[in-house]
Amino acid sequence: MKKSLFICILIIICLIFPSFAHSEVLWEKELNTAKFIEPYADNLVTTGSLYECNGAYYILYFGMDSSTAKKVNYKWQGSKYPAIMKIDEDGKTLFRKEQALPLIDSLNEVGVKMSRQVRACRCQGNELLFDIPQVEGIERTPIFYRFSTIDGNLNSIEGERAYHYQPHQTQKAIISDDEEFVLADGLFTFNQSRIDVHNLFGDENHTTLKYRIILNMDAFQDSIAEGTYAMDFLMVDNQSFIVRYFGKNKKTIIAKYSYDKSAAANLETGQTLTSNLVWYTIYSTGGFQKFVRQDNKNLLILNIGNRMTILDNDGKNIFNKVIFDKTKYQNYTINDFIPLKYKPGYFAFWGYHIENSERNFAVIITDNDFNVVDAIHWDYNGKSNSLTDIKEKENGNLIVYGNSLYKVTNESGINNYYVPYYAEIRPNYTDVDDQAGNKQIGISPNPAGDFITITLQPSEGFNPSEGSEIQIYNTLGEKVMTESIHPMTASHRMNIEPLPRGIYFVKVGGETAKFVKM
């Protein structure tokens, strides 16, 4: 009797609810920027990023305040000036209630007249270390900051003046324990790319240039677009890195380099050494957005148009296709993504969702095969919203940061201004597309005892071959059983006797179906 009652309850749950859990926004807030954001600034997007340090989150964003800009005599009135805000895990603002700490005065003290970006940031001890370069003509002077996460004090360290960078280009930087690696994305005086290595703590007030690494581009020099050189990079370990170049005809060049770390330590200040080209690959893309390395050493590259490219550890292209079904996700525009630590093999993509000509915040969760397991979008103020950064909490929830557009009508007409927005969402890792009533995967009996028979119906876009995996997940999104299809037949019998009673999901390729274990 108890067993029959349990089965009935599970069947009812399956019919009423496609999954146990649903994504939800736990809390959401706007950042009260007070005087640090210029109100009614037409089309001014307050871009920024989230950083995690010692259990708290820091929003470093760029806004504008024209009155303050005039007061400190900034040369470019249209610049976006940085400020920082600290929040705890529940979104409560710290330091000053509902206000941010402006960095504009500190920038002025060290002579920064124009600033539009943060090249690097990392948490080290009780400090956030970040670099905001001075930008003026072809000169980009590193201004390195040590920001106390305890009391909010900010100490600036002026770096050596660095010349020869191309004007108005981003030089990405990566901070290690005691060094900063700055990419010279195109040198102003000669056709070359390099990485400048700075000693962060040469003394209390200045960083120092230790040495320079010349990037060897001879093997693919003819494939690089004219006037464009290294655009982005990431560190593999302390003596190798991967660099992206913008190629001709909308192609992307990815190259891996190594260099002699011990030899670099013996160089005199400012000397150079040439890196070794390990491998390079050229592939077609509509535009590059971001790359990250997985634990298995594969390189994941997100391109414009939701196209994902994967290179293995030898640079071989093993995957290159659009990852979201255009018919289901044509209204989603993706800005960025991260691999998830709470659910290894899963990814969080974010950006915005267009509905009735208005943009809403959007997050998409996928598994390791980029099958969508959760797609959430939510309307905040019904205007023009977009997420720009996400950080993952230990419990799997996501802290998101973005911008919300407001329109204000005054005597000059309709003006737009953006307000920084942050929230916490709880993703649903079990809400798989078409998991109920799947026509490609049949499961019998359902509910089942110790065995199930899985019947596959190949169709366009679903054509599993011999050796394909049949995967079974529980309601927590954990993979609990895997078998290969061998030999390839229309049906496959599986022994599920070891599984506890409950609801499970069978996944083959990009298709998923649900069953109940008695």
CB of 464 within 8 A of CB of 477? no
pLDDT tens-digit series, residues 175-208: 887 888 888 766 655 667 888 888 876 555 566 7
Asked if omega into 420 is within 30° of 0 (cis), the reply is: no
pLDDT tens-digit series, residues 230-260: 888 999 988 999 999 888 888 899 999 999 9
pLDDT tens-digit series, residues 99-141: 555 565 555 555 555 566 677 788 888 888 877 776 665 556 6
Two structure tokens written together for 11: 């069947």
Two structure tokens written together for 266: 């013996």
Residues ≥6 apart with Cβ < 8 Å to 105: 72
CA distance 187 to 192: 6
Tokens 């005054």 -> residue:
410
Q: Is the pLDDT of residue 155 over 60?
A: yes
pTM, rounded to two decimals: 0.74
Looking at per-residue pLDDT, the higher value among 474 and 271 belongs to: 271
CA distance 246 to 47: 24
CB of 197 within 8 A of CB of 183? no
Degrees, nearest 5: CA angle 363-294-259: 130
- Strands 208-214, 271-274: pairing is parallel
Long-range contacts at 363-368 (CB < 8 A, ≥ 24 apart): 363/23, 363/387, 363/390, 363/398, 363/400, 363/425, 363/427, 364/324, 364/329, 364/332, 364/334, 365/340, 365/427, 365/428, 365/429, 366/323, 367/507
Two structure tokens written together for 340: 């998830």
CB of 259 within 8 A of CB of 239? yes
Mean pLDDT across the stretch 16-36? 62
The amino acid at residue 392 is E
Q: Is the pLDDT of residue 171 over 50?
A: yes
pLDDT of residue 3: 55
CA distance 506 to 435: 9
Residue 392 pLDDT level (bands cut at 50, 70, 90): very high
CA distance 328 to 502: 29
pLDDT tens-digit series, residues 414-458: 666 677 788 999 887 754 444 444 567 888 888 888 888 888 877
CA distance 287 to 305: 8
CB of 62 within 8 A of CB of 38? no
Phi first, then psi, for residue 434 (nearest 5°) are 55, 35
Mean pLDDT across the stretch 465-481? 78
CB of 65 within 8 A of CB of 38? yes
CB of 154 within 8 A of CB of 103? yes
CA distance 472 to 506: 5
pLDDT of residue 230: 85
pLDDT of residue 461: 59
Which of 310-319, 444-453, 457-466 is the least confident region? 457-466
Tokens 């079974």 -> residue:
472
Mean pLDDT across the stretch 266-271? 85
CA distance 51 to 249: 36
Phi first, then psi, for residue 430 (nearest 5°) are -120, 0
